[in-house]
Amino acid sequence: MNAETINFVDTVRARHSASCMVMRGAIKIAVAEARLDDPSAMASFLAPIPNNGELAALLAKKELLNTRAYDDETQTARFVISDGNIAICFAVTDITIDQAELITIACEESNEWGAASFPEAASRALGEPVERVQ
């Protein structure tokens, strides 16, 4: 991963490249990843997240993290995980808060919080397949 830029993760193959996942019904999953020790990458990572100050403080501790937030205005759920070195954000757009909760339950039940497994858990939770688009 380039230490100076934020990379997007291909959630199907967990590679470092630009990608977006689309579920039937126009539900999208965008995945962003950044190294916690790279200030530029972290600034880019945090920029699209509303009210990101608390999240930035949590990530700055460089500890294990698994958190989520829902933005009613944009109907976007953000699931952020970190191993203390790298932060990953799964942004699922155009879903309800109830659908976001179903995704959370599916991920917690199967402990599927990785770049490759999160879309599969979201697909099971919402009953829709995930398709890769560029």
Average pLDDT per consecutive 10 residues, the chain (134 residues; last block may be shorter):
33 34 60 95 96 96 94 94 94 92 90 80 84 41
Cβ–Cβ under 8 Å, residues 90 and 117: no
| 1 domain residue, yes or no | no
Compute the distance between CA of residue 58 and CA of residue 1 in angstroms, rounded to an integer: 22
Q: How many domains does the chain have?
A: 1
| 2 domain residue, yes or no | no
Compute the distance between CA of residue 68 and CA of residue 35 in angstroms, rounded to an integer: 19
| Residues of the domain holding 80 | 7-128
Predicted model pTM: 0.76
| 134 domain residue, yes or no | no
| 133 domain residue, yes or no | no
| 37 domain residue, yes or no | yes
| 89 domain residue, yes or no | yes
Compute the distance between CA of residue 24 and CA of residue 95 in angstroms, rounded to an integer: 12
